[in-house]
């Protein structure tokens, strides 16, 4: 809202060179970097949402489907279902044998404690793991396998597979296997479907899934005894419900995740001791199947052949652990699967750190943004009341003539309107037009107007800072007003602008820049931005005595103050911010004259707007970095460094850079979490902004009808400003340099009549 004059290319630049510079206005590599950062953020969020079952999950459970296509031998059979030659076959757990199975882990708290209990009691368990949990807690799985326990697949997102396509089923299994490979270097042949713990849960919808998995070599594991610990019925009931009757073997279900498992942890050691006392042994799914096979072989073969049973068979009936730590269901992952699994775990680790971190940043940004709105409203109100008191005065009225400096480069469309508006000034002025090597006859147009008190000074093309310094050196009066060549003043603008110089501590004054070409959508968006910026931000900074920028479109300075800090610097692309901070550091007070209004021509296209704001953002960063030592300075310089600079960095760089997170998280939440709640939250933030904008419009006596564009501004325009700022940050971080660009002007902002604005 403060820099409209732009530095041109060299006077004798060829069209081809100008075209090349124009193409470099938005450097493609940096745009690609910004887009890649956005894509990376979205990808990380989607991955995190997928891990937490927010993206792509379906919690529906089928409970009323027919099982007419499922063989009775399966529905009434044992808990271990496999397929041999396409034929379904079930096996039961041998008598006096317990297979402890645990669902829904791993969990960093509960699973670890379950493993401690199993270790203390020297019994194994079979854990059916959720792939997303494996990805988040691989260390727990690694310990689980190293301790001799067995693991199986419980899908990646704990979804009811009977609803899913064949591709989704395959993906759920494959992703879980990858997670297992990355965590423990193995894959498994065991599977348990969510929401289907017993054989009679198989129906016509899920039966094809089990057949497909059987053909792939999986053993589907069910239970015949359920502790129902998920209901948290009490320790005694968990133990009772987990105890098989009549000395039969059992596949028993417990849970090591998915909720508070304190009762499970209390019941489990008591249950193990109770079953051991009854003569039960504990094994894994593979161990139980091998025992069954061994018993079958015992009736058909000689005793000596039993010793050749598959590895993993308990050596004696009293053993409580399998002799081979690597369970028969486990397979060593091949190299490709191993590295793919590690890559998955790496991506998940990034998401696990990034998303919570971003959520924290989002909360901080949200609080900062809302706090800023509240602070602006309070301080703007105080500023308004302070300046409108009857006794308020800057000091003696300033009536002495002032010099108005107009730097101009190829401003033939605008220069006549600018000078005619100054000629109507109610304050005595001299007008110094510094022509910066124009090639379109700007100087000749200025001279041909024949206006009194107008001097045209020509210089070779050197840029806006040099033109302003040239004008300051040739100014005849102690106060100089600087404006852009595409800006027009109201008749009383200069008079209102210079009155604060009645206070000898004031070294510079910022005026109120307004968008003249607001009839277009882009113009209306900038109009809202300008009104809020000048009537809320600047009032706040004025009260805090840390005004960061005198806008290039309208500002006034003590000539000695400007020369005392070395004039307008060419070190940065934001010479107005640079000079303002320099004056603060030199001990001068910088204030805001809200009634001194200038009408400027804002960029009329998105391309021009991008180039202008890109330069502003990058130039501001340069100026802040240049004056970074003010943070540790003493006196006035330190005051700005410790008050003004943190506010500018926080509100103009940090929060805008991270503010897109609000939009990204909002869209994500609308799609995957809770559309209604997310929409209401977004509307609430919009309402806060609307209140602030309405108050700013009231202070400036602007028409409220432009606020109808505010929602669209938040959806479209604000995103563009975010990208511009991110682009500028990338440029600064990569050490890039930005050239000046001349914006195309139309001259549509005419000379204002007193009190009426623009014609």
Nearest alpha carbon to residue 121 among 271, 333, 317: 271
* Contact predicate 125/102, CB 8 Å: yes
In this predicted model, what pLDDT tens digit does every residue of 162-192 receive, in sequence order? 778 888 888 889 999 999 999 999 999 999 9
What pLDDT is attached to residue 704?
Answer: 92
In whole angstroms, give the CA distance from residue 146 to residue 138: 12
Closest CA to 644 of 631, 635, 656, 653: 631
Give the pLDDT confidence score for residue 736 in this predicted structure. 57
> pLDDT for 441-467, tens place per residue?
999 999 999 998 999 999 999 999 999
Confidence of residue 470 (pLDDT cuts 50, 70, 90): very high
Residue 672's pLDDT is 67
Strands (E), 409-461: 429-436, 454-459
Residues 416-446: tens digit of each pLDDT? 999 999 999 999 999 999 999 999 999 999 9
- Euclidean distance between CA atoms 402 and 493, whole angstroms: 12
pLDDT value of position 752: 54
Evaluate if residue 311 carries a pLDDT over 50: no
Indicate the angle between helix axes 28-51 and 335-387, nearest 10 degrees. 110
pLDDT given at position 615: 86
Q: Using H for helix, E for strand and C for coil, what is the string for 666-708?
A: HHHHHHHCCHHHHHHHHHHHHHHHHHHHHHHHHHHCCCHHHHH
Give yes or no for residue 660 having a pLDDT over 80. no
pTM listed for this prediction: 0.68
Report d(CA 351, CA 412) in Å as an integer.
Answer: 55
221-271 residue pLDDT tens: 999 999 999 999 999 999 999 999 988 999 999 999 989 999 999 999 999
581 and 623 Cβ atoms separated by less than 8 Å: yes
Task: For the chain, give the percent of residues with pLDDT over 90.
Answer: 55
User: What pLDDT digit, counting tens, does each position of 199-214 carry?
Assistant: 988 988 889 999 999 9
Quick one: pLDDT at residue 10? 38
**pLDDT at 31 (0 to 100):** 59
Give the residue carrying structure tokens 């933030």. 685
Confidence of residue 45 (pLDDT cuts 50, 70, 90): low
Band (758; pLDDT cuts 50, 70, 90):
very low
8-state DSSP, 303: G
Cβ-count burial of 214 within 10 angstroms (0-12 exposed, 13-18 middle, 19+ buried)? buried
- Separation between Cα atoms, residue 197 and residue 282, nearest integer Å: 20
The span from the CA of 129 to the CA of 106, in Å, is: 6
Q: Which of 154, 158, 255, 470 is catalytic?
A: 255
Catalytic-residue membership of 255: yes
* Torsion angles phi and psi, residue 285, rounded to 5: -60, -45
103, 224, 435, 486: which is the annotated catalytic residue?
Answer: 103
Q: What would the mean pLDDT of 495-511 be, rounded to a whole number? A: 96
Instruction: Provide the 8-state DSSP code for 590.
Output: E
Residue 659's pLDDT is what? Answer: 73
Whether the pLDDT of residue 327 is over 60: the answer is no
Q: Which is more confidently placed, 318 or 499?
A: 499
Q: How would you class 150 by CB atoms within 10 Å of its CB: exposed for 0-12, middle for 13-18, buried for 19 or more? A: buried
pLDDT at residue 759 in the model: 37
Q: What does the mean pLDDT of the chain come to?
A: 84
Q: Quick check: 114 and 268 in contact, CB under 8 A? A: yes
Of the pLDDT bands very low, low, confident and very high (cuts 50, 70, 90), residue 733 is confident
List Cβ<8 Å contacts ≥24 apart for 258-264: 258/103, 258/104, 258/107, 258/230, 259/230, 259/232, 260/232, 261/107, 261/110, 261/114, 261/229, 263/229, 263/232, 263/233, 263/234, 263/235, 263/238, 264/110, 264/114, 264/227, 264/229, 264/238
Local confidence band at 290 (pLDDT 50, 70, 90 cut-offs): confident
pLDDT in tens, 20-33: 444 444 445 655 66
Is 578 part of the annotated catalytic residue set?
no
Residue 320's pLDDT is: 37
For 377, residues 6+ apart whose C-beta sits below 8 A from its C-beta are: 536, 691, 692, 695
pLDDT value at 744 more than 60: no
303 pLDDT more than 60: no
Residue 298 has which token pair?
Answer: 């015992």
Query: What pLDDT was estimated at residue 2?
Result: 42
Nearest C-alpha neighbor of 196 from the set 161, 156, 237, 243: 161
Residues 350-409 pLDDT 10s: 877 877 777 787 788 888 888 889 999 999 999 999 888 877 889 999 999 999 999 999
């Amino acid at each position: 809202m403060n820099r409209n004059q732009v530095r041109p290319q060299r006077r004798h630049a060829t069209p081809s060179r100008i075209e090349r510079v124009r193409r470099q206005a938005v450097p493609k590599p940096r745009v690609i970097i910004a887009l890649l950062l956005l894509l990376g953020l979205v990808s990380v969020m989607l991955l995190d949402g997928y891990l937490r079952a927010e993206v792509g999950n379906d919690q529906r459970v089928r409970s009323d489907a027919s099982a007419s296509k499922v063989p009775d031998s399966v529905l009434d059979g044992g808990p271990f279902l496999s397929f041999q030659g396409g034929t379904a076959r079930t096996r039961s757990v041998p008598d006096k044998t317990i297979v402890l199975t645990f669902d829904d882990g791993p969990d960093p708290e509960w699973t670890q404690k379950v493993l401690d209990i199993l270790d203390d009691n020297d019994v194994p368990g079979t854990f059916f793991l959720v792939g997303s949990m494996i990805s988040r807690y691989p260390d727990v799985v690694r310990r689980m396998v190293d301790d001799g326990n067995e693991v199986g697949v419980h899908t990646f997102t704990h979804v009811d597979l009977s609803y899913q396509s064949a591709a989704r089923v395959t993906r759920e299994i494959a992703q879980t296997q990858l997670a297992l490979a990355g965590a423990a270097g193995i894959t498994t042949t065991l599977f348990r479907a969510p929401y289907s713990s017993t054989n009679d849960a198989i129906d016509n919808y899920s039966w094809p899934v089990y057949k497909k998995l059987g053909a792939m070599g999986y053993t589907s594991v069910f239970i015949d005894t359920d502790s129902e610990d998920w209901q948290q019925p009490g320790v005694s009931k968990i133990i009772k419900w987990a105890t098989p009757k009549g000395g039969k073997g059992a596949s028993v279900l417990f849970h090591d995740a998915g909720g508070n498992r304190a009762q499970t942890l209390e019941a489990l050691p008591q249950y193990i001791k109770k079953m051991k006392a009854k003569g039960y042994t504990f094994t894994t799914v593979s161990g139980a199947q091998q025992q069954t096979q061994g018993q079958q072989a015992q009736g058909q073969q000689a005793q000596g052949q039993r010793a050749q049973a598959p590895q993993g068979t308990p050596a004696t009936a009293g053993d409580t652990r399998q002799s081979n730590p690597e369970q028969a269901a486990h397979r060593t992952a091949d190299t490709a699967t191993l590295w793919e699994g590690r890559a998955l775990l790496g991506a998940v680790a990034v998401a696990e750190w990034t998303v919570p971190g971003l959520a924290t940043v989002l909360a901080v940004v949200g609080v900062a943004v809302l706090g800023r709105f509240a602070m602006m409203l309070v301080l703007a109100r105080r500023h308004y009341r302070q300046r409108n008191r009857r006794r308020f005065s800057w000091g003696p009225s300033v009536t002495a003539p002032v010099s108005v400096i107009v730097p101009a480069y190829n401003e033939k469309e605008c220069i006549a309107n600018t000078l005619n508006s100054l000629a109507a000034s109610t304050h005595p002025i001299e007008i110094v037009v510094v022509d910066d090597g124009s090639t379109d006859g700007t100087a000749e147009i200025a001279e041909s107007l024949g206006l009194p008190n107008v001097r045209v000074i020509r210089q070779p093309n050197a840029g806006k800072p040099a033109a302003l310094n040239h004008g300051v050196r040739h100014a005849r009066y102690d106060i100089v007003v600087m404006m852009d060549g595409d800006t027009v003043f109201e008749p009383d603008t200069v008079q209102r602008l210079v009155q604060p110089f009645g206070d000898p501590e004031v070294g510079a004054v910022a005026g109120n820049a307004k968008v003249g070409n607001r009839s277009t959508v882009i113009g209306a968006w900038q109009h809202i931005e300008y009104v809020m910026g000048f009537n809320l931000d600047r009032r706040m900074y004025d009260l805090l005595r840390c005004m960061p920028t005198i806008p290039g479109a309208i500002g006034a300075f003590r000539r000695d103050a400007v020369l005392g800090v070395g004039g307008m610097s060419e070190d940065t692309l934001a010479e107005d911010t640079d000079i303002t901070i320099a004056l603060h550091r030199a001990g001068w007070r910088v204030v805001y004259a809200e009634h001194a209004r200038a009408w400027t021509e804002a960029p009329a296209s998105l391309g021009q707007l991008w180039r202008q704001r890109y330069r502003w953002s990058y130039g501001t960063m340069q100026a802040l970095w240049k004056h970074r030592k003010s943070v540790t300075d003493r006196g006035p310089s330190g005051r700005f460094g410790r008050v003004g600079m943190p506010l500018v960095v926080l509100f103009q760089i940090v929060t805008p850079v991270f503010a897109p997170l609000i939009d990204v998280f909002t869209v994500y939440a609308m799609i995957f979490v809770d559309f209604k709640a997310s929409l209401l939250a977004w509307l609430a933030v919009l309402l806060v902004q609307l209140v602030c904008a309405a108050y700013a419009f009231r202070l400036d006596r602007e028409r409220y009808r432009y606020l109808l564009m505010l929602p669209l501004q938040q959806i479209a325009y604000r995103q563009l400003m975010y990208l511009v700022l991110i682009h500028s940050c990338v440029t600064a971080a990569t050490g890039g340099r930005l050239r000046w660009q001349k914006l195309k002007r139309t001259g549509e902002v005419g000379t204002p009549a007193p009190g009426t604005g623009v014609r």
